[in-house]
Amino acid sequence: METFYSYLIIFAVGGFICLLAQILIIRTKMTSSRILVLFVVIGAFLEGIQVFKYLEEFAGAGARVPIIGFGASLARGAIQGIKENGFLGLLAGPLSATAIGITVAVLGAYLFALIFKSRTKK
Can you give the residue ranges of every domain in the chain?
A: 2-115
pTM of the model: 0.79
| 50-87 pLDDT, tens digit each | 999 998 889 888 888 888 988 998 899 998 888 888 88
Q: What is the pLDDT of residue 47?
A: 92
Distances (CA, A) of 112 to 33, 40, 59, 78: 21, 25, 30, 31
Distances (CA, A) of 106 to 4, 28, 71: 33, 30, 18
